[in-house]
Amino acid sequence: MIRSLFTGISGIKSNQMAIEVVGNNIANINTPAYKANQASFADSLSLYLRAGTSPTSSKGGINPMQIGNGSSIGSISSPFTQGSIEITSNPNDLAIAGNGFFILKNWDRQYYTRDGSFGIDAAGNLVDPATGFVVQGRMADNSGKITSSARVDNITVDPNTLAPAKATSKISLTGNLNSEAKANDSYQMSVMAYDSLGNTHNILVTFEKATDNEWSWRAELSPGNGNTLEPAEKNKLKFESNGKIDNNAPDAPTNASLKISFKNGATTPQTISLDFSKLVQFSDNFSPIASERDGYGAGLLESMRFDESGTLVGTFSNGITQKLAQLVLADFSNPEGLTKIGSNLYDISANSGMPKMGYAGEEIRASIVPGALESSNVDLANEFVRMMIAQRGFEANSRVITTSDSILGELVNLKR
């Protein structure tokens, strides 16, 4: 009879702990990326009243006779099922769709989280505002390249970052040369080019009618700055009777190489490929323009955004976009083995395995959703059902204790 009292107590404790698990899940229903816990019961060690025997030729086998000693919590698991993605429109909010964890660093210690509600601190670090821990990734070099050999480090972006200038190396012209022009008639256009320091230079291109279907051209720099341009060796253009340029005329190539020598400290000589292959000759106005041109001046960082691979892309005032950094995610062979340490953070344990690091969509089977957060995977209806079951279990085990106590009272009264 005494045993039933302790059995009831064990049931009360187990169900009380199950209610605590449910209560914690419900309390975190709005916690970003929270993973619900689930308590599983296990029976306690049973007492042998009779051992089992094997069958013989004259007698059948007998099953063992045991009586249990109550219940206990066998495990509290935390299934890492995907929570729903909630759009926040905050560009610093990030959600992981798939496997993996963001990596945060505090001094020399790494932690892991699915909560991507990040922000930028005064030093330009991408951080978890709740803890100040810095998000980890790989930074791009000055040219915007991210190499796999770069170390995993703090993602830090200086708001005064400049995109370096790029010298112009190719200019393509399109448009029309008037076929009705007379011999020696000339037309001039201006094309802007950048040097390696981001300075602009005007290249004046003059077209002069020679004979029918044949033109000459020359390129020169605006005077007065001391820079020099080496003239092209062949400067003829020939057109076919259908108005298209003749790309096969040996003495009239449609691609010329210009060499410019600068006096301002820029890379010199600078070679620019001038492409005429898209010009046409019809009876119409003179209209050549520079339709394609590479090169640009230096630009100041204006805005940043993440893409699905976790790459941080910056947009600069000169109109170019350039990679700044890329998030590195971590995945584990047993995510449920991680240790929760609060603030939506996890730490490795002996049964989680060591982290496998990589990029979303490559080594890690996941994608990054910018401007969004992963919601808790708590199912409120399921939690209420579990709470009611645990409540009834608690009540039933309480009845076991009160019933056992009543029987013991009757037993004591037998003496009177």
Q: Are residues 182 and 237 in the same domain?
A: yes
Res 31 pLDDT > 90 = yes
Question: Residue 89 — very low, low, confident or very high, per pLDDT cuts 50/70/90?
Answer: confident
Which of 269, 293, 317 is a domain's end point? 293
Q: What's the mean pLDDT in 219-228?
A: 85
If DSSP codes are grouped into helix, strand and coil, which group holds residue 212?
A: coil
Q: What is the CA radius of gyration of the chain?
A: 39
Q: Apex CA 43: angle with CA 42 and CA 47, to 5°?
A: 155
Choice between 416 and 265, residue whose per-residue pLDDT is larger: 265
Output DSSP code: residue 336.
G
The reply to whether 214 falls in a domain is yes
Q: Are residues 118 and 197 in the same domain?
A: no
Choice between 410 and 239, residue whose per-residue pLDDT is larger: 239
Distance, in Å, from the CA atom of 370 to the CA atom of 93, rounded to the nearest integer, reads 6
Q: Are residues 176 and 285 in the same domain?
A: yes
CA dist 289 → 245, 284, 364, 400 (Å): 16, 15, 47, 94
85-87/311-316 β-pairing: unpaired
The reply to whether 367 falls in a domain is yes
Where residue 266 sits, what CATH number does that domain have? Answer: 2.60.98.20
What predicted TM-score, i.e. pTM, was given to this entire model? Answer: 0.81
Query: Whats the size of the chain, residue-wise?
Result: 416
The reply to whether 39 falls in a domain is yes
Q: Are residues 288 and 174 in the same domain?
A: yes
Give pLDDT, residue 129. Answer: 95
Q: Are residues 25 and 99 in the same domain?
A: no
Distance, in Å, from the CA atom of 153 to the CA atom of 41, rounded to the nearest integer, reads 43
- Comparing C-alpha atoms, which of 133, 137, 139, 138 is closest to residue 104? 133
Question: Residue 142 — very low, low, confident or very high, per pLDDT cuts 50/70/90?
Answer: confident
Res 192 pLDDT > 80 = yes
Q: Which of 80-84, 96-100, 336-340, 403-407 has the lowest mean pLDDT?
A: 403-407
Q: Are residues 32 and 144 in the same domain?
A: no
The reply to whether 262 falls in a domain is yes
Q: How many CB atoms lie within 10 A of CB 97?
A: 16
Q: Are residues 174 and 283 in the same domain?
A: yes
The reply to whether 249 falls in a domain is yes
270-282/170-178 β-pairing: parallel
Give pLDDT, residue 416. Answer: 65
Q: Provide the b/e sequence for 338-351 (b: ≥16 CB within 10 Å).
A: beeeeebbbebeee
Q: Which amino acid is at 158?
A: D
pLDDT in tens, 270-309: 999 999 999 999 999 999 999 999 999 999 999 999 999 9
364 strand-pairing partners: 360
Find all residues with CB under 8 Å of 406, minimum gap 6, and list them: none
Give pLDDT, residue 1. Answer: 61
Q: Are residues 282 and 199 in the same domain?
A: yes
Q: Name the residue range of residue 396's domain.
A: 2-44+69-74+380-413
The reply to whether 51 falls in a domain is no
CA dist 120 → 174, 339, 395 (Å): 46, 27, 51
- Asked if residues 71 and 10 have their Cβ atoms less than 8 Å apart, the reply is yes
Q: What's the mean pLDDT in 241-267?
A: 93
Give the DSSP H or E segment for 182. none
Number of domains in the chain: 3
Give pLDDT, residue 49. Answer: 86
Q: Are residues 223 and 255 in the same domain?
A: yes
Output the average pLDDT for the chain: 93
The reply to whether 198 falls in a domain is yes
Find all residues with CB under 8 Å of 195, minimum gap 6, and list them: 165, 167, 168, 201, 260, 262, 264, 266, 267, 270
Distance, in Å, from the CA atom of 22 to the CA atom of 34, rounded to the nearest integer, reads 13
Q: Are residues 205 and 242 in the same domain?
A: yes
The reply to whether 313 falls in a domain is no
Residue showing tokens 């990734």? 137
Q: How many CB atoms lie within 10 A of CB 170?
A: 15
Q: Are residues 105 and 119 in the same domain?
A: yes
Q: Are residues 220 and 273 in the same domain?
A: yes
